[in-house]
Amino acid sequence: MPTHELEDQLRSTLARAAADFEHPDQARQRLLQRDYHPRRENRRLAAGITAGAALAVGLAAVITVVAHGPASKAAPLAAPAVRTRLLAAIDTASGDILYAKGGPAPDGGTWQSPAYPQPGQKVHVHTLGLGPDGTAFKDEEESFAMPSGNDSYTSNLDQGGLQLSGTILTVNHVRHVWGEWHSTFVLGFALDAAGIRAEIANGQFKVVGPAELHGQQAVQLEINVPPSNEAPPHVTAARLWVDATTYLPMQQYVRMSNGEQNVTDYTFLPPTAENLAKLRPRIPADYTRVGRTQVTGPKPKTAK
Amino acid sequence: MDWVSDAASKRQFEGFAAEASDSLLRTGYLMTGDVREAEDLVQETFLRVARRWNRVRSMDHPAAYARRILINLVLDEAGRRSRQQAELGPQDAGIDAADESATRALREVDDFAEFRWALARLPARQRAVLVLRYWEDLPVAEVADVLGCSAGTVTSTASRAAARLAQALTRSGLPSTGPATRPS
C-alpha cells in the first residue's frame, strides 16, 4: 500500500494533470452533438450494405479481400479532424460522377450522378453487370428525382431501400432489345454513398490509421457496427479507406454474418462529356425498341 | 429493443452524456495523454452505452458503467500496443524503497506534459489503477471490481505503478539518447 503522503501526492498531481485538458468545452460540445442512436445508424448502414450486397450479387462481386499495405508510422489523425476533412471533400465532389466497382469484371460497375445528390436533384444511375466471360447480364439506367425531406429519406433508409418513382432504361443484350418506361422501383445503390456520408457526418467511425491502398496513401476507418438483431445475413464489420490527400472514399469493405466479404472500390469522375456518357447504357444500332415485358421477360411466378 | 429507442429515453441519454462527458474526457485524457484520443474513446463509450441504454438507465450509477467501458477500451487498445511498453526499460524497483522516491519525484513535477508522458508509459493496468484510485478517487474495492482483480492486487499494483512513475520521471530529467519520443 503506498504511503498516505504518496497517495496525496498522486491525487494532487493527477488532478493538476487532468486540469491541463485544453478546451474541454469544445470536446464536450462535439461529443454531445453526435447522434448516438445506434439502431438507426445500424439500419442505415445495413441499408447501404444491403444495397451494396445486391449490387455485388449482380456484379459477381464477392471477391477476395485485397491485401492492404502496412500502415505507415505517421501518427493517425483523430476522428473529429478526419470527419471535418471527409465532409469537406464530399461536399466538393458532390457534383461528380461516382463510379463504384464491386467485382472482378474490368468494365462493370455502377455510375451515379451526382455522387451525393441533394433533395430534388435529378439523379442518374447506370448499372452494368458483367459475367465472368464479359457478357452483360444487366445494363440499366434509372433516372429519378432525389426525394426531398430528411424524414421521408431517413424512414426509407430504415426500410432497407429508397422507394422511387422515375424512368428505367434497360438493354437486354441477350435478346438484342431495349426499352424505356416510367416505373416505381427500390434503389439501393444511391444509399451506399448517402449512407457513407451519414455515417461520417454522425461520427459513427473510428480512425484506424494510415494505410496504403492501390499504391496510394490512404486513411483507414472502422465504421461502428452495433450488434444486429436482424435476420442473417447482416453486417458484422465495415471499414472504409479514404484518400489521404483528397479525403474522398476509395474503398469499402464489409463482412457479413455468414462470412461473406464484399469490397467496393469508389472513383470520383469529373462530369466531362466522356464521363457523362457512362451514365447511359450503350444501345447497339441493330437493337430493337420493345415494350417492357419483352425486355425483362415475364414476371416470375410467386412461390406458393 | 435495447438502446435509445424513443424520444424520452433519448433525452435521458443526452442528459446522462452531458453530465458524464467531462469526467470521462479527463479520465480518458489521463489514461492516454492525448486529447483527441480521449474524445474518440468517450465517443465510443457513449455509443456502447446508448446501445444498452434501456438497461443502463435503470442502474444505480450509469456513469460507473460508462467509466468501466472507457477503461476497458483503453486496456483493449493497450494490448495492441504492448510492444511499446517493452521499451520502458528496467523492471520495477523494490516497492518498499520506492514510495519515498516516488513522493519526491511527484512533488517536483512542474511540467505536466512530462508527467502525462511518464503516466502514458506505464503499463495500461497500472495506469488504470492510478487514475481510478487517485483521480476518480474510487475505493480500492471498486477499482478491483472495475479491473476484475482482487483488492490486494490493486494496492500492490498502485505501489508498483508509483515506483515506475518515479523512475520514468527521474530518468526523463537525463539527456535523451533515444528517438524523439519525449514531450515537447
Instruction: Evaluate if residue B68 carries a pLDDT over 80.
Output: yes
Q: Tell me whether residues B35 and A21 touch, CB distance under 8 A.
A: yes
Q: What value of ipTM does the predicted structure carry?
A: 0.75
Among candidate residues A262, A218, A217, the one with its CA nearest the CA of residue A237: A262
A1, closest residue in chain B (CA to CA): B155
> Which positions in chain B touch A5 (Cβ < 8 Å)?
99, 103
Nearest to A31 among B39, B107, B159 (CB): B39
Q: Looking at beta carbons, which residues of chain B come within 8 Å of A71?
A: none
Chain A closest-CA separation from residue B175 CA (Å): 23
3-state secondary structure of B122: coil
Q: A233-285: per-residue pLDDT in tens?
A: 677 888 899 888 888 889 988 887 777 788 888 998 988 888 899 999 999 99
Mutation site, B14, B24, B43, interface A, largest A CB count within 10 A: B43
| Cβ atoms of A40 and B26 closer than 8 Å | no
- Comparison of pLDDT for A243 and A72, the residue scoring more: A243
Distance from CA of A265 to the nearest CA of B (A): 27
| Cell matching residue B7 | 424520444
Task: Please indicate if any CB of chain A lies within 8 Å of the CB of B117.
Answer: no
Give the pLDDT band (50/70/90) at residue A180: very high
The residue with greater pLDDT, A112 or A87, is A112
pLDDT at B145 over 80: yes
Greatest mean pLDDT among A85-89, B7-11, B60-64 lies in B60-64
Mean pLDDT of B131-140: 89
Arithmetic mean of pLDDT, A159-163? 56
Could you report the per-residue pLDDT of A98-154, keeping only the tens digit for each? Answer: 998 876 666 788 898 988 877 788 889 898 988 777 788 889 998 988 876 544 444
Q: Say how far apart CA A194 and CA A190 lie, in whole Å.
A: 6
**Is the per-residue pLDDT at A286 higher than 90?**
yes
- CATH topology for B85-172 is Arc Repressor Mutant, subunit A (1.10.10)
- Using alpha carbons, select from A139, A129, A123 the residue that is nearest to residue A282: A139
Bridge partners, residue A181, by sequence = A168
- Determine contact: B57 vs chain A, CB below 8 A: no
pLDDT at A231: 63
Q: B102 CB near a chain A CB, below 8 Å? A: yes
Looking at residue B107, its pLDDT comes to 67
Q: Does residue B7 have a pLDDT over 80?
A: no
Q: Specify the amino acid at residue A89.
A: A
Residues 6..45 of B with a Cβ closer than 8 Å to A: which?
10, 13-14, 17-18, 21-22, 25-27, 29-30, 35-40, 42-44
Calpha distance A32→A161 (Å, rounded): 29
Outline which parts of chain B fall under CATH 1.10.1740. 7-80
Q: What is the model's pTM?
A: 0.47
Q: What is the DSSP string of chain A?
A: ---HHHHHHHHHHHHHHHHT-S-HHHHHHHHHHS---HHHHHHHHHHHHHHHHHHHHHTT---PPPPPBPPPSSPPPPHHHHHHHHHHHHHHTTTSEEEEE-SS-SS-EEEEESSSPPTT-EEEEEEEEE-TTS-EEEEEEEEEEPPP-HHHHHHHHHTTSEEEEEEEEEEETTTTEEEEEEEEEEE-HHHHHHHHHHHHHTT-EEEEEEEEETTEEEEEEEE------SPSS-EEEEEEEEETTT--EEEEEEEETTS-EEEEEEEEE---HHHHGGGS----TT-EE--HHHHH-SPPPPP-
Q: Boundaries of CATH 1.10.10.10 in chain B?
A: 85-172
pLDDT of residue B91: 42
B7-80: which CATH architecture? Orthogonal Bundle (1.10)
CB A36 within 8 A of CB B47: yes
